[in-house]
Structure 1
């Protein structure tokens, strides 16, 4: 840890202790979660090349809330081990001597205040910005910590029915590019990406409905300069490039496209539009039912004389457009011994013409928690990357589960079995000249066609030792089948058998 960071932490802790003593003007509250996990896996970043298949990993998060009144407060969330500290790693600050740079990060920092003489609440700063999603309790399109402003207010309430409005503006990216125009460096030029969203939540007894819409203003250089370190263990920062753009073909990744040769779309500003609705029904207890649907479109212009789709290198206009939809449902039935349920979705896939863009739903990187290893639903989110991705686009899936089964006091189990099938055209690997499989680090994760499929099984067991300590043992296995007649040898770069076993200790306070 650098001297500046040490002094900052010392100063903040000192202030948090002394301020309540000096007049009770501000009430300081502290909460957090400390995770220590041991895992063995063959999924990235483990089990690749010369990497070990075993890892001990930790991450410590602490949130400080400074509450002046019910109408004004501020919060700071600090993370030790932003992307996890791998035990023994010098760059993570976990080697002999336990010191290193850049291991402490500010995950969130915001103020909450109420507009005087109104019920409108405002949050400003780095904060969780999330579109609604009742099927998985997470949005499939946007759900990340983002610098921005949120304003929420009630609109109507009567006889148990209420409606409100929540608006947010977020700035995921700005001032990251070092762009060269006409041989001249123009730093931070047209490189901001801003999102604007409106949610209208409606609530009644046993019913929640949230229609929403979002617009993104995307500068032509906003997806450049984000992060060129593709070995970083959590690609949350730069993966949106792959989620917003079509397949590039011929082994190209988004770093090469946006940082080097092909960013000449001559489209100063790109545009993104999304709309959706999510519904949760609980009035028929013990049933819990949720349905949702989403459509989105991102247009970043076109690339003239794009050569990567043609084995002979002949150029043709490539439309940088991605538009598509997905629909999902979930039904759970709660018994005294556990909760069996089913979750299913369909996400539109690409047709067989790579030049007209993509027909998949455009998404930002979001930890869509469907299953532990295929998607982002593990107990500890830093345990390996995901085999299939972070979103439902380009595939359909069915997940059967039995949650919270308990035979022993304080010990609960969740069992899941899932099947996934691609919806992208089986002609795309050939038509898009995919001489290598799309990179997981900076793209769509797994790209499944109509001839490809996967299935997953997992068991997660959590023992509550005390009110503040949990121990989780989780095992997951993903069988990935890529059709050799579709991929013509490209599939050999991917593991057919993907697995992980992890043991995690979580202290919350």
Structure 2
């Protein structure tokens, strides 16, 4: 039964391809991944975030992505993507004779150039992120994660010259009630964003200043999908059932992504971001802060790409009555050197520590694409991360939000005096041109965990974390 939705989708694509006019070209591509993950003390405790469940250390996962491009010509095309998302063997749709629907669309957008111009329009469910330098994978504010975190959006790319373009986008990230409200009392139930970026590229240098404006209805996120990234701990003190006083709240971000390669083979990267969420609401509901990162890579070796990275971010002060002092984020996917401390560009999912980089500072070094043997590439990354959050601020946040793991989590949100060391050593062997065997290992150790924040139960349980994963990656 579980194969019927996928079979039906493939029949639909085949039918569409067969009915396409002769001038339309249909291209398909995708990937399949099957992998096992051994993870001991994922949250440094062997429990889930709030300490109510015990982990299973070995899980086998698989996923599928299929992308189809319907290309009329170089100026008009449509992309349709289907996925069978990462799921564990023996669970959900991967159980014996399970009838659950597994397949879902994750891309569906039209892309064309306005006739007689070079203006490119992209409309539909598409990858949408704010600019961030490539060395940190994706944005810490709003990321697309290589298409896995799509948004319903309209995007315009308007070339002004060969060195400058204007990029503008509108996206509706949430619409809790679609067309009609559940009652006759109007409540803001949508989360809309408006984005502007001005990429400038000259020889040896590129810079992209950007801005993002959000309008967040106080009833737009009933499932609290974005709560921990956008809200302050003080919002939990609301007795009205909504986190905000105002029906709609403005949220804004401004940033700069800068890349310099004039000193080739050295390449330099820098990002600076400031954000402010709900500035006109009650002070306890406001969240505002900043984030800076920088890195340098050296491409002078043909057998290795070394890099050094650093970052620093604002942290919570000692009060929750004045809101949060951390950068507000929507869908972050950020990490230096593919460090397994962060959820970023790992080849497999479910094998990273998921540390929150807001409210921290840190340093990382990586040796990427290390290759002494044909078809074998390795990656070694070491990262040290420490907290910039006030101990008192995190302690009050734990109390206000109902306990550890509700808003902040031990080992993922770090206070001043708390720090982590993470090491991962990863390998990919090309069995064929399209099939890769990947092995990843990771180790993380916590230091200075504060009993006054997390309590004796959590800190006494804390131990080092170990991860090992192995699997196959097939691209087609």
Task: Kindly state the Cα deviation for residue 133 of structure 1 after the two structures are TM-superposed.
Answer: 0.9
Return the offset for 1:384: 4.0
Instruction: Report which of the two has the higher share of strand.
Output: 1
- Aligned equivalent of 2:404, options 421, 434, 437: 437
| TM-fit CA distance, 1:14 | 2.5
Partner of 1:148: 153
In the TM superposition, 1:104-183 aligns within 5 A as: 104-134=103-133, 135-144=135-144, 145-157=150-162, 162-176=163-177
Q: For structure 2, which runs of at least 5 residues remain unmatched after alignment?
A: 145-149
- Counterpart pick for 1:60 among 30, 43, 64: 64
Separation in 1, partners of 2:80, 2:36: 28
Q: Which residue of 2 aligns with 1:212?
A: 210
Shift of 1:479: 1.2
Q: 1:25 aligns with which of 23, 26, 44?
A: 23
The question of whether the paired residues in 2 share the 8 Å contact of 1:383 and 1:502 is answered with no
CA distance in 2, matches of 1:338, 1:412: 9
| 1:86 Cα offset (Å) | 1.2
Give the corresponding residue for 2:311: 345
Matching residue of 2:445: 479
- Give per-residue Cα distances to partners, 1:53-72, cap 9 Å, x unaligned: 11110000000100111111
Q: TM-score, normalised by structure 1?
A: 0.83
Query: 2:231 matched to which residue of 1?
Result: 245
The TM-score, its normalising length taken from structure 2, stands at 0.88
What secondary structure sits across from 1:354 in the alignment?
Answer: coil
Superposed displacement of residue 46, structure 1 = 8.2
Aligned CA-pair RMSD:
2.9
* Residues paired across the two proteins, number: 459
Per-residue CA distance 1:40-82 (angstroms, 9 max, x = gap): 11327986535421111000000010011111110111001x2
1:176 and 1:478 mapped to 2: Cα distance?
42
Unaligned ranges ≥5, structure 1: 227-237, 304-317
Relative to structure 1, is the Cα distance of residues 264 and 373 closer, same or farther in structure 2, using a 3 angstrom cutoff?
closer
Q: Distance in 2 between matches of 1:265 and 1:425?
A: 24
Alignment partner, residue 147 of structure 2? none
Counterpart contact for 1:294–1:327, Cα < 8 Å = yes
SS in structure 2 of the partner of residue 492 of structure 1: helix
Contact in 2 for aligned 1:265/1:300 (Cα 8 Å):
no
How do residues 396-407 of structure 1 correspond to structure 2 at under 5 angstroms?
Answer: 396-407=361-372
Taking the aligned partners of 1:363 and 1:264, their CA distance within structure 2 comes to 16
The Cα shift of 1:261 comes to 5.5
Q: Say if 1:117 and 1:96 are closer, same or farther in 2 by CA, change over 3 A.
A: same
Q: Tell me which moved more, 356-365 or 9-18.
A: 9-18
* SS of match in other structure, 2:160: strand
- In 1, the alpha carbon distance for the partners of 2:3 and 2:30 equals 24
1:15-54 correspondence runs (5 A): 15-19=15-19, 23-42=21-40, 43=42, 48=48, 49-54=53-58
2:394 matches 1:408: no
What do the CA deviations read for 1:239-264 (whole angstroms, capped 9, x no partner)?
x2111111259xx6xxxx89x86426
Corresponding residue SS for 1:295? strand
**Contact in 1 for aligned 2:343/2:355 (Cα 8 Å):** no
* Residues 192, 46 of structure 1: alpha-carbon distance in 2 compared, 3 angstrom cutoff: farther
Is contact 2:234–2:321 with CA below 8 Å preserved after alignment? no
1:88 paired with 2:55, answer: no
Q: Secondary structure at the match of 1:15?
A: helix
1:242 is paired with a residue of what secondary structure? helix
Q: Distance in 1 between matches of 2:443 and 2:118?
A: 48
Q: CA deviation at 1:288?
A: 1.2
Q: Tell me, yes or no, if structure 1 residue 267 matches structure 2 residue 253.
A: no
